[in-house]
Amino acid sequence: MGEDNAEAPVSYEDLAAIEEEFDAIDLEITRKQYTLSLPTYARRAALTARIPSFWPLVFEQCPPELDAYILPQDSAVLAKHLTGFSVNRPELDADPVGGDPRTVRFRFEFAGEDRPFEDEVLEKTVWMGKDGMGSEPVQVRWKEGKDLSGGVTAATQRWWEAGGKADGPEWKDLIQKVEEGGGVVSFFAWFAWVGTKRPGGRKVEEGAEEEGEAHPGGEEIAVVLAEEVWPDAVNLFTQAQEDDGGEGELDGSDSEEESLGEEEHKRDGPGEGRASKRVKV
C-alpha cells in the first residue's frame, strides 16, 4: 500500500472537535430534560408547598460542598424565614429550541417580619460560557445593623455600578470590606458574586476577578444548587426527616411523602441517583 493511501495523523484539533460534539449533545439533553421535567416539578411544588419547613430542611441536609459556605447565622435565617426555592432556565423558557440551557435563575422566597433584610424575594441569574461562569450582583436590602455580609453586598453593588474597575474609591472600599471579613463569608454574600463572564460580553477589569470577589465559592454554590439541591430536594428532605426521627410526619399523612418519592423516582429513572444526573449549569 502506497504512502498516498496512508491515513493522516490525528491532530489535537480533531480530538477537540469530538469534545465539542459531546458538549453539544449534553446541551441538547439538558434542553429536552428541562422541558420534560417541568410538569413534574410543578406537581412537586404543589405538594411541597403543603409541607411546613420543606425547604429549610432541604438546606439543612444540603451537600457538604454547599454546607461549608453556610454559616450558623445564615442557617438560622434559612431555617426560620425561607419559604420557597426554585430554579429555572430563563433562556429555555423564552426559546425552548435555541435558548442556552446553561443560563440558570435561582429564586429564594422569605417571610417573617424579623428577617434581616427587607426583601421577600431574592433572585440571581448565572450565565455560563467558554470564558467561565458569571453573574451580576443582586442588591440585598439589609435592615439596619443586620447585614450578615459585613457590608460586602452593598460595596459590590456600588463598585459594579461604577463600572467594575480595579481602581477608584469603590474598588478600595470593596477590598476593605472583603479583608475585614477575614475569610469568613456569609452565604448571602453569594448574591453579590460576579465571577468572570458577564451578559453582553461585559467583563470586570483584569485583577478584579478574585481580589475583590464577594464570595470565593460563587461558582461552586451555583453548581450545587442547580445540579444537586434543586433536582434532589425530596431525597434531601426525606433524609432530614429520618435524621430528626420524624419520618412520615408530613402534616397529617404518609401519602404526600409517598407521592413525592414516586415523582422523584419517575424523574430520575431506575437506578439513577444524584451522581448520575447530567443536567449541567
Nearest of 265, 261, 224 to residue 69 by alpha carbon: 224
For residue 229, the one-letter residue type is V
Helices (H), 68-183: 72-81, 90-94, 152-161, 168-180
Q: How far is the C-alpha of 18 from the C-alpha of 16, rounded, in Å?
A: 5
Q: What is the DSSP-derived secondary structure letter of residue 96?
A: T
Collect all residues with Cβ–Cβ distance below 8 Å to 57 and sequence separation of at least 6.
236, 237, 240, 241
Mean pLDDT of 126-130: 80
With bands split at pLDDT 50, 70 and 90, how would you rate the model's confidence at 52? confident
The pTM score is: 0.82
Q: Which residue has the cell 478584579?
A: 208
- pLDDT over 70 (residue 243): yes
* CB-CB contact of 197 with 128 (8 Å): yes
Q: Name the residue among 114, 141, 106 with its Cα closest to residue 225.
A: 106
Note the pLDDT of residue 238. 96
Q: In which residue are the cell numbers 425547604 written?
A: 55
**pLDDT exceeds cutoff 50 at 72:** yes
Instruction: Tell me the three cell numbers of residue 221.
Output: 454554590
Q: C-alpha grid cell for residue 140?
A: 440585598
pLDDT at 84: 98
Q: At what angle do helices 152-161 and 168-180 cross, to 10 degrees?
A: 160
Band of residue 183 on the pLDDT scale cut at 50, 70, 90: confident
The gap from C-alpha 52 to its chain's centroid, in whole angstroms, comes to 23
Helix (H, G, I), strand (E, B) or coil at 19: helix
pLDDT of res. 265? 46
- In this prediction, residue 51 carries a pLDDT of 95
- Least Cα distance to 215 among 192, 246, 238, 241 occurs for 192
Which amino acid makes up residue 188? F
Contact at 8 Å (CB) between 110 and 98? no
Residue % of the chain over a pLDDT of 90: 64
Q: How confident is the model at residue 244 (pLDDT cuts 50, 70, 90)?
A: confident
Nearest to 34 by CA among 226, 219, 198: 226
**More confident: 167 or 29:** 29
Tell me what pLDDT residue 274 has. Answer: 36
